[in-house]
Amino acid sequence: MTGVPRPSWLSLGLALSLTLLACATDVGGGSPGVGGSQGGSGQPGAAGTTGAGGTTGTGGTGGSGVTGSAGSTSTAGTNGTAGGGGTSGSSGSTGAGGSSGATGAGGAAGGAAGTTGGGGRGGTTGSGGATGAGGRGGSSGAAGSAGSTATGTAGSSATGTAGATGQGGSGGAGGGPVNLNGRKALLLVDSPSSLDDGEVILKLTLENRGMIVTVGPGTGPATIASGQNVILVSSSVGSGDFTPIFKDAAVPMIVFGNSAYSNLGWIASSSGKGSVNSTTLCSLVDGTSPLVSDVMTGVGFKMILDSRSTSLYWGTPGGSPIRAASIMGQATQLVSFAYEKGAAMATGTAAARRVGFGVKVDSVQDLTIEGFKLLMAAIEWTAGP
């Protein structure tokens, strides 16, 4: 008869261990280790806690410690101690490594890239400079203002286009107003301590152009003309007073009125001068002269406003004068004329530039636009660099 195989102690021990593991938690291996908790959102997941090793098996044949479900990496289960009264227990099996804690969800995605600012609009094109006034080399047009810089929205600002440079004024020869800043003028009057209205206005006009004005008596001395750029002789000064002292001064000179023309050697006789009512029309004689500014050729104009009733003074200079303006229809009766330095006069030669201006100083404040332009052209021609 075939014998029933007898179970070995090893088989019985294994079966007993499995049975005990299925029973109460105080029998056999330790409880499974708790897995590591999931990492918080946005931060890396915290490492799982280490699963506890299996506790020591009891009984005859020591059972293997149950694999602890470890947190991060489980430490090995401790060796089981020998079962009471039985054969030495097998060493507890090494606990399986605990599952790694789930990786925490990554932090929120980085902020969306800022929208690129649109490029700033270009600055507006600057307006062209205004056309300069003509005249004695018409005033140059002012340079156009530079285009303003646009402010871009989140983009770079574009620089505006520079304004166009204004065109030079049309009119007489030259390149614009003469720079008179710092030039020196000697104003000869009858009474330096008591200027009339015309003399005050003439002085202020010169100073407004940047000139340094010295007021002196027509009687001199001649040394007061030293270092001056121009001498202006008011019509209040007696001809017999200033001509003996300043006639041959090597400084440019403007003489108002015509009472001194004979003594200065500009006319041959007293018949070479006269006067007319201030409402009489005048016109240019030589439109290319540097003394005519931008007054129109061939057109009649008044030198003095109608609101002022006074006279115009003319002369017929001898020698080689520069003819600027005359009584209209009377080309030899000049209200504005000049001599270049060294030019022949009716008597002798000019020691420096000389100008005859047929308006008395007390009428300067009543000059028309044309009259004022002729006066300023004379000042620039004599006092300029």
Q: What is the CA radius of gyration of the chain?
A: 58
Residues 6+ apart with CB under 8 A from 5: none
Instruction: Give the pLDDT of residue 200.
Output: 97
Task: Give mean pLDDT, residues 352-361.
Answer: 98
By percentage, how much of the chain surpasses pLDDT 90?
A: 53
Task: Give mean pLDDT, residues 62-69.
Answer: 40
The C-alpha torsion from 326 through 328 and 332 to 335, rounded to 10°, is -20
Under the banding of pLDDT at 50, 70 and 90, the label for residue 218 is very high
Task: Give mean pLDDT, residues 324-330.
Answer: 97
Burial environment of residue 234 by CB neighbours within 10 A (0 to 12, 13 to 18, 19 or more): buried
Instruction: Give the pLDDT of residue 177.
Output: 82
User: Does the pTM of the predicted model rise above 0.85?
Assistant: no
Q: Which residue has the tokens 């001395």?
A: 221
pLDDT in tens, 254-285: 999 999 999 999 999 999 999 999 999 999 99
Q: With contact defined as beta carbons under 8 Å apart, do 295 and 301 qualify?
A: yes
Residue 152 CB coordination number (10 Å): 15
Specify the higher pLDDT residue, 348 or 27.
348
Q: Which two tokens stand for residue 213?
A: 């004005």
For residue 367, the cross-strand partners are 304
Instruction: Give the pLDDT of residue 184.
Output: 98
Instruction: Give the pLDDT of residue 45.
Output: 39
pLDDT in tens, 72-81: 443 444 444 4
For residue 13, the cross-strand partners are none
- Using the predicted structure, report yes or no on whether residue 293 has a pLDDT greater than 50: yes
Instruction: Give the pLDDT of residue 1.
Output: 45
Name the average pLDDT for the chain.
71
- Using the predicted structure, report yes or no on whether residue 369 has a pLDDT greater than 50: yes
Instruction: Give the pLDDT of residue 271.
Output: 94
pLDDT in tens, 14-57: 444 444 333 333 433 334 334 333 333 444 434 444 334 444 34
Task: Give mean pLDDT, residues 350-354.
Answer: 98
Cα separation, 162 vs 205, in Å, equals 35
- Using the predicted structure, report yes or no on whether residue 319 has a pLDDT greater than 60: yes
- Among the residue ranges 111-125, 166-180, 239-253, 342-356, the one predicted with the least confidence is 111-125
**DSSP H or E segment with residue 202:** helix 197-208
The C-alpha torsion from 20 through 22 and 26 to 27, rounded to 10°, is 10
Specify the higher pLDDT residue, 283 or 138.
283
Under the banding of pLDDT at 50, 70 and 90, the label for residue 126 is very low
- Using the predicted structure, report yes or no on whether residue 214 has a pLDDT greater than 70: yes
Cα separation, 240 vs 247, in Å, equals 11
Instruction: Give the pLDDT of residue 283.
Output: 97
pLDDT in tens, 147-194: 433 333 333 334 434 444 333 333 334 457 899 999 999 999 999 999
Helix (H, G, I), strand (E, B) or coil at 255: strand
Supply φ then ψ for residue 216, to 5 degrees.
-140, 165
Task: Give mean pLDDT, residues 232-253.
Answer: 96
Q: Which two tokens stand for residue 349?
A: 């030669």
Helix (H, G, I), strand (E, B) or coil at 361: helix
Under the banding of pLDDT at 50, 70 and 90, the label for residue 238 is very high
